[in-house]
Structures are given as C-alpha cells and as structure tokens.
Amino acid sequence: MALEAVVAKHDLRIGDDIGGGFTLKGALMGFRARLEDDELVLRKTDGGRRLASGWDALPDRLTTLDRTAWHDLHVWREWPAEEAIAMGQPFAPRQLVPVLVDLGRVYLDTMRPGGRNW
C-alpha cells in the first residue's frame, strides 16, 4: 500500500503536529502537509505559507533537514472532538484502527526486501 493512497483515504497530515498533547522537542521540521485538491501541499507551520507541492516535495524537504538534530515526523488525522465523544467507545475500532492498519501496511511494504524506498 502506498503512503499517497493512505493519506488520501484517511485525510492524514504529515509534518509538525504542535497541538494537543504533544510537547515540542528538538528541531522542528517546519512544515505541515496535507492534500489540497488531490495534491500534497507543504505549508510552513508559522502562518501557512506554501513551501512546496507534490509528493516529491516530501522527501526533498526531509533531505534538507539538519542531520545533527532530532526531528519528529508525525503522521496524524484530526477529528472534531464532538464526533469522537458522540461515537463513544466504538470510536477507536471504527475510526482509529483502520488508519493504523493502513499505516502499518505502508511501513511493511516499505521495509520488506524489494519494497519501496525513498
């Protein structure tokens, strides 16, 4: 399974997640990416200025990061709190598990011998 397909299927974001319960550590990646009109768009985290677009922009951006610093790359999905609360306990198996299963497939497809590598 390709990362592109999983991001589209689950409306995922990639990059710096500086909200919620996350505590910033190390160097920031400096971007958040998501699909906009079926194209991956990387935007600055401090104001949303467009940095780059297209799937090739993601590995290009990652290779420019400071190799002496620690970077946390997040892949996440956002849900309105009201939706999760209203769904109750079934929220996790209905909404979270499918995302985690598909991300696990991406990881396994990437790591297996002959798999897709950047």
User: What is the secondary structure of 45-57 as a DSSP string?
Assistant: TTT--EEEESTTH
Is 117 among the domain residues?
no
35-60 pLDDT, tens per residue?
Answer: 999 999 999 987 789 999 999 999 99
Q: Which helix (H) or strand (E) holds 60?
A: helix 57-63
Q: Which domain holds residue 94?
A: 3-111
Number of domains in the chain: 1
pLDDT given at position 40: 96
Q: Is the residue at 54 inside a domain?
A: yes
Query: How far is Cα 10 from Cα 40, in angstroms, rounded to an integer?
Result: 14
- Reported pTM: 0.81
Q: Which structure tokens are listed for 103?
A: 């991300």
* 90 occurs within a structural domain: yes
Query: Is 118 contained in some domain?
Result: no
